[in-house]
Amino acid sequence: MKMILSLPIDLLILFAILAPIVYLLGVKMRTRKIVDIWAVVGFLVSAIALYLLYNEVAAEGIITHYWAGQQLRGIAILQIDMLSIFMAAIFLLIGLLTAIYSTKYMERDTGHAEYYTLLLLMVAGMIGVAFAGDFFTFFLFWEIMCITSYVLVAFRKEKWESIEAGFKYLIISSAGSATVLFAMSILYGMAGTLNFAYLSSTISNTPTPWSILALAMIVLGLGVKAAIVPFHTWLPDAHPAAPSSISAMLSGVVIKTGVYGLIRIMILIFAPAEYQWQLLLAIFAIITMTVGNVMALLQNDIKRLLAFSSIGHIGYIIFGLSIASVYGLTGGIFHIMNHAIGKALLFLCAGAFLFAVESRNLDDLAGIGKKMKITGLTFIIGSLALAGIPPLNAFQSEFMIILAGIQQGVTSGIWYGLSAIMVLNILFSVGYYLRIIQIIMLREPTDLAKKAKEAPAPMLFSMIILAILCIVIGIYPGPFADFANQAAEAALNLDNYVRAIVG
Amino acid sequence: MNLIPLSYYIVTALILYILGMYCLAVKRNMIKLIIGIEILTSAANLNFIALATYGNPGGADPLGHTFVIMSIVVGACVVAVALTIAVHAYRHYKTLDVRELKRLRW
């Protein structure tokens, strides 16, 4: 069979299009659950296809594929290297576990056909962004991802919170998308093409006022999606308002798509040696992590707290990127994986609490961990992991980022200061993670929490898998760090990427 | 044949972009905010069309036009979603003023 795009994306889109039909069949056969299982199967099949693709990429280095059939100046092309595979693997992992979790969590909601269609399409869009080899493809998949996530945030349309958050998210995020589009038009005017490799060979050598304007607009536009402070204001509203399974997707992986775009575009097209954006981006990163961590401490709503903590972690990742060395980028990319796993776990746990007692307020949730022992245990693992406690996973990547920052100190003393601020931030963030652990696990249960029952099996399954991953990556980081290292080297190996197209 | 210089188009596009951002920052009606998004997208589209024509003496570059058509389609989807949310907001609050949607601190 000839594939249209790439096999993992094709399968996801196919499953997404067929999901409403399967739902209707399920209604006819009086088994409504069938569409849930359909979505889980879709993610599984796509994961197998991704594994096959991984083997191909590991053998050949870079795969290029013209999906529109014509070879018009490198347009409509997929260019898949190790970094793309790495990101796609994280997207699919979190997507699969979210789908399993949703089979139980979304039981009380209606509109399952729409929900799973949108979920599958969102993951397809994210993988497409990671595979894109030119701005045309990038923009299309970017918008697929954005539009589906707008709808998913506003999914519970009968609640005021979802509507407000959805509208705010839509306005801010599509303004960001339009800014990226404007930057693309400038790059197109300068180079006459939109292919990353061609742009890399024309734009990266000589900074001109126009290319610097384009760079600024791309950082602004992708920064909105990646929630870099001061463009983060939508995130603490949108992430809590969505259903918890979607919060896990948004906080775990959708914001990472913005980070991926920054990594790919800024390293490939705006070469750090010429454009000197490292320090500026590092300052953004420091502001981001500080604002995220300080605001997280002040929150009284568990999902809002987790959303702010996501902003803090985005700061760490951007700091790793801003160092722009192999080691720093490895740390940043590795942290993308660790944060995705940890934050998805915490949001799924918060969803389980929400499922049990219908409240997100920390005062109501006090002591609930004593009633929901397994959920509580996974919640502790997730919190400690993100707090950077060894031997759990985020410690490994945060350590790598800080070490890379100190190595960068050889070039300019300011990097020592920035790394020190990051260490302070990590220590500071332990404060609120311990606070939520203390509230959830150690306090006397409130009346509301006493009535809580343990979460159902599919929800527990997803949480336990993620908790095990937290521990495994922490104790045995070798293969995972190696994978991240391959991804970082692929991202920095411009020659290979450009030669695959330009020749 | 005398064409209008390219810089006119680019300046117009930049002015449109700034107008769109101004609209998003100042206007308080949900429909006007959605119009602001449309203005922003139009600015980028205009820039694409102008550059596609001027970059290639003797004919327009199909690539820029393809991109703009796609961008218009995508923009229509975004506006459809935005208007749906606006309708639901109107049903809840009986107003389109975003200042009334203040429970989330705009």
- Cβ contacts of B52 on chain A, cutoff 8 Å: 188
At residue B97, does pLDDT exceed 90?
A: no
pLDDT confidence band for A285 (50 / 70 / 90): very high
Mean pLDDT of A137-154: 94
By Cβ distance, the residue of B44, B62, B85 closest to A181 is: B44
Residue with tokens 């920035």: A418
Identify the band that residue B105 occupies on the pLDDT scale cut at 50, 70 and 90. low
Q: Is A27 part of the contact surface with chain B (CB cutoff 8 Å)? A: no
pLDDT exceeds 60 at position B30: yes
- For residue A70, pLDDT over 70 is answered with no
Domain covering B6-100 in this structure, CATH number: 1.10.287.3510
Q: Could you give the CA distance from residue A317 to residue B59 in angstroms, rounded to a whole number?
A: 45
Answer whether A68 touches B (CB < 8 Å).
no
- Rounded Cα gap, residues A275 and A269, in angstroms: 10
Alpha-carbon separation of residue A101 from A365, A381, A442, A463 (angstroms): 21, 18, 26, 8
Q: Is the pLDDT of residue A93 over 60?
A: yes
pLDDT number for residue A41: 95
CB A331 within 8 A of CB A490: no
Enclosing H/E stretch for A102 = helix A82-105
Please give the Cα distance from A408 to A332 (Å, whole number).
15
In the 3-class helix/strand/coil scheme, how is A320-368 assigned residue by residue?
Answer: HHHHCCHHHHHHHHHHHHHHHHHHHHHHHHHHHHHHHHCCCEHHHHCCH
Contact A352, A375 (CB under 8 A): yes
pLDDT in tens, B35-58: 999 999 999 999 999 988 886 777
Scan for tokens 């139009």, then name that residue: B42
Q: Mean of the pLDDT values across residues B71-75?
A: 94
pLDDT at position A61 over 90? no
Q: Is the pLDDT of residue A259 over 60?
A: yes
Task: Sort out which chain A residues have CB atoms less than 8 A from B92's CB and list them.
Answer: 160, 163
Is residue A227 within 8 A of residue A185, CB to CB? The reply is no
- The region of weakest confidence among A24-28, A236-240, B95-99 is B95-99
Highest mean pLDDT among A171-185, A402-416, A449-463: A171-185
Query: What is the rounded average pLDDT of the residues A99-124?
Result: 92
Q: What is the mean pLDDT of residues A349-369?
A: 89
Least CA distance to A183: which residue of chain B?
B44
List all residues of chain B from 2 to 21 with a beta carbon under 8 Å from chain A: 10, 13, 17, 20-21
Query: Quick check: B77 and A171 CB within 8 A?
Result: no
Contacts of B76 in chain A (CB under 8 A): none
Could you tell me if B47 lies within 8 Å of chain A, comparing CB atoms?
yes
Res A158: pLDDT: 85
Give me the residue from A163, A166, A175 closest to B24, CB to CB: A175
Instruction: Give the pLDDT confidence score for residue A1 in this predicted structure.
Output: 44
Rounded Cα gap, residues A344 and A244, in angstroms: 9
Residue B7 burial (10 A CB sphere; 0-12, 13-18, 19+): exposed
Q: What is the pLDDT of residue B102?
A: 64
Q: Which residues contact A162 (CB under 8 A, 6 or more apart)?
A: A153, A154, A155, A156, A241, A242
Identify the pLDDT of residue A390: 84
pLDDT band at B13 (very low <50, low <70, confident <90, very high): very high
Shortest CB distance from A185 goes to which of B34, B51, B92? B51
Q: Which two tokens stand for residue A195?
A: 């292919």
Q: Is A66 on the interface with B (CB under 8 A)?
A: no
Alpha carbon distance A195, A136 (integer Å): 8
What pLDDT is stored for residue A386 in this prediction?
92
For chain A, helix, strand, coil in percent to 5 are 80, 5, 20
Beta carbons of A343 and A284 less than 8 angstroms apart: no
A26 vs B59, higher pLDDT: A26
- Measured between alpha carbons, how far is B68 from B63 in angstroms, rounded to an integer? 9
What number is the average pLDDT over the span A452-481?
92
Mean pLDDT on A146-165:
90
Give the integer Cα–Cα distance in Å for B58 and A350: 61
Q: How far is A369 from A250, CA to CA, in rounded Å?
A: 25
Please tell me the predicted confidence (pLDDT) of residue A244.
92
Q: Of A134, A174, A234, A360, which to mutate for an interface test with B (greatest number of B Cβ within 10 Å)?
A: A174
Contact check, Cβ <8 Å, B88/A163:
yes
- Average pLDDT over every residue of A264-290: 90
The reply to whether residue B63 touches residue A161, judged by beta carbons under 8 angstroms, is no
Chain pair A-B, CB pairs under 8 angstroms? 122
Candidates A72, A179, A188; nearest CB to B51: A188
Residue B71, chain A, CB below 8 Å: the answer is: yes
Q: What's the rounded Cα separation, in Å, for the pair A348 and A466?
A: 10
The first and second tokens of residue A431, run together, are 């404060």
Higher pLDDT: A160 or A382? It is: A382
Residues A339 and A313: their CA atoms lie apart, in Å, by: 7
Instruction: Out of A280-284, A305-309, A468-472, A493-497, pick the least confident.
Output: A493-497
Determine the average pLDDT of the residues in A160-172.
Answer: 90
Which has the minimum average pLDDT: A183-187, A499-503, B71-75?
A499-503
Tell me how close the Cα of B1 comes to any Cα of chain A, in angstroms. 22
Round to whole Å and give the CA distance between A393 and A110: 37
Please state, in angstroms and rounded to a whole number, the distance separating the CA atoms of residues A192 and B46.
16
Q: Which residues pair with A132 in a beta bridge?
A: A78
Q: Is a pLDDT exceeding 70 seen at residue B106? A: no
**Does A126 score more than 90 pLDDT?**
yes
Tell whether A139 lies on the interface with B, counting CB pairs under 8 A.
yes
Tell me, yes or no, if A150 comes closer than 8 A to chain B by beta carbon: yes
Q: What is the mean pLDDT of chain A?
A: 90
| Chain B neighbors of A192, CB-CB under 8 A | 55-56, 61
For chain B, give the percent of residues with pLDDT over 90: 59
Residues sharing a CB contact under 8 Å with residue B28, sequence separation 6 or more, in sequence order: B97, B98, B99
For residue A187, which amino acid is it?
L
pLDDT for residue A33: 85
User: A416 touching B, CB under 8 A?
Assistant: no
So what's the pLDDT on residue A229? 85
A154 lies within 8 A of chain B by CB = yes
At residue A300, the 3 state secondary structure works out as coil
